[in-house]
Amino acid sequence: MKSRLVNLLEEAQFAEIVEIAAGNKRVLSLLSAQTYHADNLIGWRAVQVFGMAAQRIAEGGAQGDVEYVRNHLRRQFWLVNDESGGIGWRAPELIGETLRRCPGRFEEFVSPLVYLLDIEEEDSPRFRAGALWAIGRIAPDRPPVASLALPLVLPCLQDADPRARGMALWCLGCIGYRETIPGLASLQADFSSVEIYEDGDLRTTTVAELTNFLVS
């Protein structure tokens, strides 16, 4: 099953994976494992399809199916915390993509996802860019997320990691932020590379280019 899933991810056969998951819920665990794949594109595609498969399973109608997805989300949060060793490097993305595709479900996880930006400083750098991406994914369908997230997102514009700076800009654009951007001139002169996953593919941009997402 694992090798078949990897082949389907390589070929971007997302619908086929979702159909497999509809009849075999443990595919969620296999997809979660593939988010650690050495090929970054495969890892990101696994994130996307995890959300799609979780949606299909949760919409199956049985309460047990909803709880199955809920338990996976709980596990992702556990993988971020100290007890697990903070090994869930793609946990924020998996949570965000699932919430994005299941509006109206699992709302109890929205606030904890946002507050992944506020975990212990020694742990947060490895999760910050992913949490920003995840918040950007859920924000358009949940207007209250903006007021909750803004105090935590804006400081990320000055983060030492260019991925976090870039994703903070992208996240603010998704939230619909149109106020003055702190440190805009510096960000417009920041040509650090940032990869963004969209629609099955990765594209490389820069922090400077991402400022256009807000000021255009």
In whole angstroms, what is the distance from residue 9 CA to residue 46 CA? 7
In whole angstroms, what is the distance from residue 94 CA to residue 51 CA? 7
Confidence at residue 191, expressed as pLDDT on a 0 to 100 scale: 98
Is the model's pLDDT at 109 over the cut of 70?
A: yes
Q: Is residue 82 within 8 Å of residue 129, measured between CB atoms? A: no
Q: How confident is the model at residue 75 (pLDDT cuts 50, 70, 90)?
A: very high
Q: Which domains does the chain have, with CATH numbers?
A: 2-215 (1.25.10)
Note the Cα 80 to chain centre separation in Å: 13
Percent of the chain clearing pLDDT 90 (strictly above): 79
* List of residues 6+ apart from 68 with CB closer than 8 A: 25, 28, 57
